[in-house]
A and B are shown apart, each in its own frame.
Chain A
Amino acid sequence: MTKFRPIRNVEFNSTPLDPNSLIDTNSICPYKDIMINKFIPLTIAMMIGFHPVASMAQDASGPTISKIIKTHEDAVEVLYEKMRGKSREEQQKLYQAEYPKPDQAIESITALVLANPGGSASLDGIDWLLRYSGQKGIDPALYNVLETHHLHSEKLQAIVLKMARSRTPETQNFLTTVSEKSKIKDARGAAILSLMKRIERDKENEEEHTALSKKLFAEHADLIINGRNVTKSIKAKREAEEKLAIGKVAPEIIGKDVDGKEMKLSDYRGKIVVLDFWGDW
């Protein structure tokens, strides 16, 4: 079995998404408005004699970051366009041969964000970096940028959701900080969620996981991510698992065999039962 996910995006989605992205980040160039908003006051400031060197320097990185991101995303788009309609094998071959390496862009954007941590595209730069930096994570210094400049940003939820995959201690610390200190409620809830996912992945620290889920259920009963009530579905899953824990009486099964004859699990009381969910694949 091949685990090759991007194909699905190519075939069923008109806008291909990064296969690693947890959420839809199709805002490739969201800076137009910011640029307009900043340039007009800037021009006015210059006219009335205020010397705007500092502000100019701060904004210079924004458009550069957006340009680098756009160049990369465009290259990906070109590749996906090429892959469209091809056979699965051909798609896979193309993807492996031609997927644009993000290394250079990662390096440049990291440098630009660090040089202008409060700049207009700083947060979008970090968002992009999180999508492409995989398990080894983003430059640790970027966490200081996030904490100092973006802790209360409306865009923080998308950022913290992407951190469930990174395993560095900096990520852990930052998520904890967000879960406790951010003024954005959605971001606090999402930070708890990401912390939980990290624990689930490493299959350790059950106590901490329990504490986190308690907090999530108590304080974020209505955490909506991509239009879905995440807390509610986690709760339902948890309840199902508890019902099926070792030591619990197995829930009754009333069903039919393949010929339509009725069967019940409780018909087998008095016997040791190996209940086997199987398929002949």
Chain B
Amino acid sequence: MNSVKKLLGYVWMLLAPALICFLLYEAFEKISSAAAIHKANVTLQWVIILLVFTPICIGFFIFGKYASDNEYDHLPESSQEIE
């Protein structure tokens, strides 16, 4: 199971930047293809989405990094292990 956790860690690490790229691409495409009257609204929507999901994707990358470093092979069973 630990090797699966590690392997999937690499998947999450790849998935995080892929998600950011996908969002950037979608944002660019939707904003540029929006009609002039809706441009401001569409831009606002995508700015909100990017602002919110970029830090989450970074967190997801760090999660993947921890997983690939075997940090989750053993989960703490008491608070002493966390502190």
A binds B: no
Q: Footprint of B on A, CB under 8 Å?
A: none
